[in-house]
Structure 1
Amino acid sequence: MPDDTHPPDVEPSDSDRDDLERLLAEFDALAETVDSPKERERVRSARRAAVVAVADAPVFGRVIRGFDRADLAEAFLGCVLFGIPMFVEGGTNEVGQHLATHPISLVGTLVGTVGLVVGILYVADIQDVRVQDPLFGVVPRRLVAVLGVSFLTAAVVMTAWGRVGWGEPVLALGDVVVAFVPMAIGAALGDILPGT
């Protein structure tokens, strides 16, 4: 099956390719054994249907590589969907005030959020996400983009909607971090879930 039946950053796994090649080889062998043109056409039709069925298979279990504008848009959409409740909920500011006065909790929340996103993208096996062309040879681009778009969106929207004032930067940071937690989770899921 040609690779152009899949989006550029989603590829079938090696076992999928092997299974498809075996199936197509069996169809070819079957076509050699039938005598009538009508039977050969039925085998060819079944072979084409198998190729189409594999090409239209859901993307769960596929290998995800690279990170492009479409992935960034999906991450942004996921972070906004998870973030809107945080922007309008007063509890966000209450928790932010607590984090602003407890620096260890603030740092712990940031580190925990990074850990959650790493877990979703690379550990939980929701999808087989591969690191391709990491920044500085070590930092995954997908991780940086998902975290970056989430944090930046939280800061911009909370500022624009008057939920934070930067006259007290530590308090504003605490509020943004509280919104950032679910937004980063939403961005990671939005980026890798099927249909996106």
Structure 2
Amino acid sequence: MSESGDDGDERRGRTVDRDDDPPDMGDLYDELESLADAVDDPAERERVAAAMRTAAAVEPVGVFGRIVREFDRGDAAEALLGSALFGIPMLVEGGTGEVGEFLATHPLSVAATYAFTVAAVVGILYVSDIQDVRVTHRLFGIVPRRLAGVLGISLAFAVVSMTAWGRVDWTTPVVAIAAISVAWVPMAIGAALGDILPGT
């Protein structure tokens, strides 16, 4: 009996290691995705798609271990809240402007700061194991909508808040852009964490 069971697992393209960690909802979702690729009949594909939607909607106990798929208004609000929580200390801290003035004389450092911010958000959303974040929609077929939303919301909050609170002077745009790059780092990280930690 065990041999036939193992053969069945191998036919489905995977082998079972009894020493592996117990499967979770992400593993189930992966199996359903593989099954959807193998099914040819449209009616059966729709049944598998319905099962995938059901699996994604199941909410296990606790905050972690959920499958995060859509990016809606609730996620946008969470990203904005995360930006504010992590960013307001940067708005009242005088060191933000001082670092911005230094970076303004080092354009490569400004570019590196923006690149680091994007890389940090990508790492939080898609590389770390904080949550099982799935890419379901892409802008222009390239950029995941969640990534664009988190980065865009946090950058907009950085620009608006730094301007409204008089932390930047747009008569010196290079210094303003550099100072915003400094404030954007924690704001973007806060937006990413605020978005995925509730597991929505």
TM norm. shorter chain > 0.5: yes
Pairing 1:18-97 to 2, within 5 Å after superposition: 57-97=61-101
* Cα distance in 1 between the residues matched to 2:118 and 2:62: 28
Q: Equivalent residues in 2 for 1:111-122 (5 A)? A: 111-122=115-126
Which of 118, 122, 135 is the matching residue for 1:131?
135
2:105 counterpart letter in structure 1: T
If the length of structure 1 is used for normalisation, what is the TM-score?
0.72
* Cα drift, residue 136 of structure 1: 1.2
Counterpart Cα distance in 2 of 1:55 and 1:162: 43
| Aligned: 1:184 with 2:188 | yes
Q: 1:174 to 1:140 in 2, by over 3 A?
A: same
Whichever residue aligns with residue 65 of structure 1, its letter is: R
Q: SS at 2:143's partner residue?
A: coil
Match of 1:194 among 173, 190, 198: 198
Q: Aligned partners of 2:199, 2:65: CA distance in 1, in Å?
A: 13
Alpha-carbon RMSD: 1.8
- Report the residue type matching 1:100 in the other structure: A
Which residue of structure 1 aligns with residue 20 of structure 2? none
Aligned to 1:106: 110
**Equivalent residues of 2:64, 2:199 under 8 A apart:** no
CA drift of 1:125 comes to 1.2
TM-score by length of 2: 0.70
5+ residue gaps in structure 1?
A: 1-11, 19-53
Which residue number in structure 2 is paired with residue 168 of structure 1? 172
- Of the structure 1 ranges 100-109 and 54-63, higher mean CA displacement relative to structure 2 is found in 54-63
SS at match of 2:139: coil
- Deviation, 1:15, is 3.9
* Aligned position for 1:145: 149
> Which string of whole-angstrom CA distances, capped at 9 and with x for unpartnered residues, describes residues 31-77 of structure 1?
xxxxxxxxxxxxxxxxxxxxxxx856114111110100000000000
Unaligned runs of 5+ in 2: 1-24, 32-57
Amino acid at match of 1:170: V
Tell me if the contact between 2:103 and 2:178 (Cα under 8 Å) persists in the aligned partners.
yes
Task: Please state how far the C-alpha of 1:14 moved relative to its aligned partner.
Answer: 5.0
How many equivalent pairs are there?
A: 149
| Contact 1:158–1:176 (Cα < 8 Å) also in 2 | yes
Superposed CA offset, 1:132-173 (max 9, x none): 110111100111111111111011011111111100101011
